[in-house]
Structure 1
Amino acid sequence: MIKVKALGLLFREQEMLVEAYYGKHSKGSGSYYRPLGGNIEFGEHSKVTVVREYKEELGIEVDVNQYL
């Protein structure tokens, strides 16, 4: 089954919020950092996914104002 993810970068002043994660990655396994986000639910827009994930994980409201 293919899973599609949406990830969001949150900037405040000169800082960027990322999640510390431990697991397998392209260089083997160990610690790494990644943007917060999650799986896009069927029929859901990626913007809605990012807003939902930030609310679920951090309890905060975010606005998506740019796509990369």
Structure 2
Amino acid sequence: MIRPLVLGVVRRGDDLLVLEGHDAVKGQTFFRPLGGGIEFGELSEQALHREFREELAVQLTAVAPCGVLENVFEFEGRPGHEIVVLYMAEIADPSFYERADPGPVLDQGTPVRWLPLAEVVAGRAVLYPTGLVDLLLTPEEQQRLTG
């Protein structure tokens, strides 16, 4: 079954707001922007606002479509397939960007952090969905981050 998913790309300079996940079967720690499933009858942008309220108790502003990625993957030994709708967004409260530790996802306790995109470009951190870095950064920006 293909799962519709919405993710919010929130940046602080060259850092990206992400949750931290772990795949025990692969022995891999990975990162993903925050968001979640789109419910039947719910528009993707509505789902994005709902997910950020549920996960971080924050409001979003400057929400703008960023792209769509198809993500075929394996997690915990099981196949998965997602159509991922991506939005650029900002947290309405400017003090959120000053937090070194944004805190865990409220409904799951999953760690949330600011991930330097340089870590992803250099291959020291895994970011999903695949193709997100190429959507967000030009080759020149990727080169600058590894410089």
Classify the TM-score, shorter chain: 0.7 to 0.9
Distance in 2 between residues matched to 1:30 and 1:9, nearest whole Å: 22
Alignment correspondent of 1:57: 55
Distance in 1 between residues matched to 2:12 and 2:47, nearest whole Å: 21
Distance in 1 between residues matched to 2:24 and 2:50, nearest whole Å: 25
Indicate the SS of the match to 2:23: strand
Alignment correspondent of 2:66: 67
CA positional deviation for 1:4: 1.1
Residue 5 (str. 1) matches residue 5 (str. 2): yes
Which runs of no fewer than 5 residues in structure 1 stay unpaired? none
Give the partner amino acid of 1:41.
E
- Normalized per residue, which structure has more helix? 2
Give the partner amino acid of 2:36.
G
Residue 20 (str. 1) matches residue 20 (str. 2): yes
Indicate the SS of the match to 2:49: helix
CA positional deviation for 1:39: 0.6
CA positional deviation for 1:16: 1.6
State the aligned residue count.
Answer: 66
Q: 1:21 to 1:54 in 2, by over 3 A?
A: same
Match of 1:43 among 27, 41, 44: 41
Indicate the SS of the match to 2:65: coil
TM-score (norm. length: structure 2): 0.40
Cα RMSD, aligned residues only: 1.9
Which runs of no fewer than 5 residues in structure 2 stay unpaired? 68-147
TM-score (norm. length: structure 1): 0.79
Which of the pair has more CA radius of gyration? 2
The sequence identity of aligned pairs, in percent, is 36
